[in-house]
Each structure stands twice: as structure tokens, then as C-alpha cells.
Structure 1
Amino acid sequence: MTWGWVGTRGTWATESARESMSAMAKHSVTWTALAYAALQPTPFSTEIDVDAQPTVTDDEVIWAIREAHSLGLNVCLKPVVNVGDGTWRAHIGFFDWDVPGEPSWTQWFQAYTRFIVHAARIAEAEGCAMLCIGCEMVRADGQEQHWRQLIAAVRQVYSGILTYNCDKYQEDHVSWWDAVDVISSSGYYPIDTWEQQLDRIEKVVAQADKPFFFMEAGCPSREGSPMLPNDWNLSGAASEEAQLEYYREMFRACRARDWVGGLMLWDWPAQLYSADAAARNDDYCPYGKVAAEFMSQQYATWTGEAK
């Protein structure tokens, strides 16, 4: 389960954050992705404000790692870049080749590498089992040489497992899977297409000969969301049954494929709503909803496979 997104300063390393993570761990969760974002002003900016508000501080990140470890959870540290003007990070992009006087991929990757290598040092010092080096960077995915250079820099300071979280439908469009240890993607697929998408992804996994899991997956508890699980702005009434329906199909389809190593579900906030508000909550978190018990049962019985 992903915990703590988007990593807003002041919301981690609190008693309510401790209670939230503890509640998550009680649902048979074995891994958590501690996810936080640093901002760049626009999709064409080449500087990332890693130390600025509202990003969590290093002390907060270290607190979350240690708290997760104290609960017996394996930790994947997941630093992510977001865009301050609201543009989705998938649209960060520059000319395919560097042009004098124009912002470039080279400049951006220099800033991004500093951000990721800094996180890698924390992950190494705190014993994180996995580090995610990027999330849904669709336009950047094609910059193979830059990614290979970043990964080489990360491996100089981090000895754990490396993964990259590509976006949905992009699993077969990344040319450098050989450079990471584990393939992962965001599995926000319409409820009636799971078999089709798994057939497609299976070919990628077999060709790369790498382990695979869904770094993100899930569905809001909202009417209509099972067909558009990636649309957090979809209009519709709160519906626990819609989320449960999606979870049932997602777990059924994934557990039937022995090459799917697991599901890192999206998501569990650091500041958790009260249990009596769950029926009115229409977001991704399953806490207090019927999907939570189902998820817990699935995780508790997902034996013989990587979790």
C-alpha cells in the first residue's frame, strides 16, 4: 500500500500519521511505498525545488521509514517530481535534442538525478528494501541514455532493489527495463480489460526476464470509477460497492498470473479520515470500507507468490 502521498510538510512524523500507518499495517499489508513529491514550477522547468515547501523534510522521510520498519513492513522509498502549475508530470518534456538557449533534457536530468540520488542515500542509510526512481514520466521514458546514467549514479550509493513505475499502457514502451531490477507500472485499467492488459504485459515481462508488480493500482469508492479508475475527478456518488467490485476483479485477474508479484495499492493518507466517515469518502483509500476487509483477506492468503 502506498502511504503518505503527496508528502506534505508537517503531515508526517505526527501522532496521527503514526496511527494511520499502524491502521494500514493491520490489514495484512507487507510492503509500503512511502511516496512524496518535490515540485518544479512548470513542465518546462529544469530546476526541482527539493528543499522547499510543501515537500516533507528529510527528517520526516526518515521518521516514516523507521516507523514502517517498526511495524514489520518492507519499504519502497518513492520520491516523485510534480509540477507546481498542476500539469501532470507525464507531460514534463523538452526538445529531443539539446538546443542552445532552450531548456533541455540534459539540464532537467541533472536536477532530477540530484533529487533521486539524495533519496537513494537515505534509502541506503535506513535499509529500504526498494527504491523507485521515477513515476509515470511518459515523455521522459524515451530518454534512454539519461535514465541509464541516472541508474548508474544511483547504484553508486544504493545497494537495494531498483524499480521504475511506468504509467498504464506504457509497459511495452520502455526500452531500458534491463537497467532496473524489477518492472513496475500503474495498473489503473478499466475493470473489464484486466485480462487483455495482463496478456499484453506478460509478453514484456517474459522478454525482459524481470520480476514484475503493480507499483500503483486501485479504484476510488465512487460510482463509475471501475471503468475509469485513474480519474480521481470523476463525478459520482460515494460507493463502497463500486470499489469492492473493482478489487474483486483486480485481485482475481492478478492472482491467476504467477508472474505478477503483487499489488502496491493506491493509497493510504498520512492523515486518515475517521472510520465513521468512510461511507461518505469517495477516494482511493479503502480504510473503513468493505474493500478493506476483502483486501486484507487477499493479502493474508497470497502465499507462494512474491508479496
Structure 2
Amino acid sequence: MTYGWNSSRGSYRQPYAVDSLRKLSETGSEWIALSFYTMQNNVYATEIPFDYGLTMTDRDIEHTVKEAKALGLKVCLKPVVNSKDGIWRAHIGFPEESSAEPYWDAWFQSYGNFLSHYAELAQELGCEMFCIGCEMVKTEAKQEHWSQLIARIRSIYDGPIVYNANHGSEERIKWFDQVDLIGTSAYYPVANQPGDSEEEMISNWLPVREKMASLHAKFGKPIIFMEIGCRSALGCATMPWDFTHTELPVSEEEQANFYSSVLKVFWDEPWFAGFFWWDWSVKLYDREEAGSNVGFDIYGKKAEHILKEWYEKPKQSLLRLG
């Protein structure tokens, strides 16, 4: 499960957060991606500041890592950079021309400083995985910059590292041989229309599986869905990334079909490392409100029951790191 996203500073250490993490562990999940963000001023900025009014403190992160480990959960630390102008982080970057190269150099230096801080923290806290970026599509062509950045992180953190591509952009990244796992945000639209059946979704996951198998064959790295999920609202399996259409009616069934279909298609693939579901809130709604909730959370919903059934199966840990 992804845990920690879009939370206010200090919220990780509240009693409701501890309760939420305990309920997360009761799903049978074995890992959390502890995901938080800071903001650069706009997509063309070259500096990534620490915002003392926003960014999670090291104390916040340390608290959650220790709580997770006490519950038997492993942790992938996942620091993310967003943009204050509201433009998606995939657009962070500069023109592809020689005069823009100093801007690229400055941004990667600042991003490296940002990541190095959290890589050091991940090392000190014993986090079992570290994510070096999320959906930073425009930066991904800068192969030499990424190679230097990965080498810098490996000098600090000795565990496995993963990069979180965006669905549809995975095959354009040339430096996946330098990470330990190939990650993607697997928000593939697997429904053709609102209310589609599990069978229809399975048929649409099959070509995705073929593409992921080819990616594994090319680089020899396990594939992991660093983000995957679907809101419990009618039509969301046609656009699993959506969080804006809050007017859509509740559909626990559509979310449940999304979960069950992808579990059936990928569970037994030896090259597939696992899922980090999006997402599990730090402050959960009351269980009796699950039937009216249209968010990504599965607490108290049909998808939670499906996940528990799969995770209770006798199995080796799904997250395969070798």
C-alpha cells in the first residue's frame, strides 16, 4: 500500500495515523510506500526547497517507519517533488537545446541534494527500498544526469532502488538497467465503459502483461507496480488515475473488479515483483461510511475483502527483489 500521501505536516504522528497503519497491516499487505512531497515553485524552477510549513519532517518519517516495522511491514521510502503552479510533475524540465543545459545541470544538482537527504534517512532507518523518482517524464531522456544521480544515491543507500515511471512512458527509458526494480504507475484504462465486468478488464490487462514481460526481458529487472488503483466510483476503471470527478456515483463493484482482474493476471508471473496500491489514507473515514466513499481507499469496501483473500493465500512474499 502507498501510505502517507497528501498529508499535513505532523499528521503522521497523530493517534488516527497509528490506527490507520494498523488497519492497513490487517489487509495482509507486507509493504508500505511511505510517500510524501515537497514543492518547487514552478515546473521551470531549478531549486527544490525544504518548505518548513509543508514538507514532512524527518521526525514524522522516522515515527512512521518505526510504527510500520513494529507491525511487521517493510518500507519503501518515496520522496516526491511536485510543482506549486499545479502543473503535473511530469512537465518539470527545460527545452531540449544546448542553451538549456545549465538549467538541467542546476535542477539535477538540486534534485540530487533532495534525494540524497532522504537516501541517508532511508539508510539510517533501515528502509528496505528507496524510490528515486515518480512520473518525472520530461527528465527521463537525460540519461547521463540520471546515471550520475543513481551513482550518487548508491554511495549513500545500500538497499534496492526503484524508479516509478508513468504508464505508457516505461519503454522510452533507457537507463532502467541501472536500477534494481522497474516501477510504473499502472493506471491503465482497462474498462471500455462504466460498469465493465471483471472478464472485460482481464482481457485488457493481458496486453499490458505482454508489454511488461518484454520490458523485463529487455533489462532483466523485476517489474513492480509502484502505483496502481481505482476509485470506487462508476466509470473510474476507464480512467483509473482520476481523482477529480467527485460527482460520479459510488461503485464498489467497479473498484473490486479492477483489483481482482489485475491480481488474476499478474499474480503468478515470476518476473512480477508486486503491487503498491494507491492508496491508504493517514486519516481514514469511519467504516460505516465506506459505502458512500468514492475515493481510492479500500477500507471497508469490497476491494478490501478481495485483497485480503489473495493475501491470505499460502505463498512466498509477492515482492520479489531478486
Runs of 4+ displaced beyond 3 Å: none
Contact 1:172 1:201 in 2 (8 A): no
1:212-254 CA distance string (max 9 Å, x none)? 1111101000000011101111341121111111111111111
| Structure 2 residue 189 is matched with structure 1 residue 177 | no
How much has 1:97 moved relative to structure 2?
Answer: 4.0
Asked if structure 1 preserves the Cα contact closer than 8 Å seen for 2:212 and 2:223, the reply is no
Identical amino acids, percent of aligned pairs = 38
Q: Are 1:273 and 2:285 matched, yes or no?
A: yes
Whether the 8 Å CA contact 1:7–1:35 is kept in 2: the answer is: no
TM-score by length of 2: 0.92
Residue 178 of structure 1 deviates from its aligned partner by: 0.9
**Contact 1:95–1:104 (CA under 8 A) maintained in structure 2:** no
1:302/1:77 Cα in 2 relative to 1: closer, same or farther (>3 Å)? farther
Report which stretch shifted further, 273-282 or 231-240. 231-240
2:244 aligned partner:
233
Decide which moves more: 69-78 or 51-60: 51-60
State the AA in 2 paired with 1:112.
Answer: Y
The answer for the alignment partner of 1:218 in structure 2 is: 229
1:300 aligned to 2:312?
yes
> How many pairs does the alignment contain?
306
2:183 and 2:4 map into 1 onto residues whose CA distance is 19
The separation in 2 between residues aligned to 1:222 and 1:118, in whole angstroms, is: 38
Partner of 2:147: 148
TM-score when scaled to structure 1?
0.96
Residue 131 of structure 1 corresponds to 130
Q: Is the aligned partner of 1:259 residue 2:271?
A: yes
Could you tell me which residue of structure 1 aligns to residue 23 of structure 2?
23
- The aligned residue for residue 112 of structure 1 is 111
For structure 2, which runs of at least 5 residues remain unmatched after alignment?
191-200
Stretches of structure 1 that go unaligned for 5 or more consecutive residues are none
Change in CA separation of 1:245 and 1:96 when aligned onto 2, cut-off 3 Å: same
Cα deviation 1:141-176 (Å, max 9, x = unaligned): 111111111111111110011000000012211100
* 1:165 aligned residue: 164
Do the aligned partners of residues 305 and 67 (structure 1) sit closer, same or farther apart at CA in structure 2, a change above 3 Å counting?
A: closer
Residue type of the alignment partner of 2:220:
D
| 1:195 counterpart (206, 209, 220) | 206
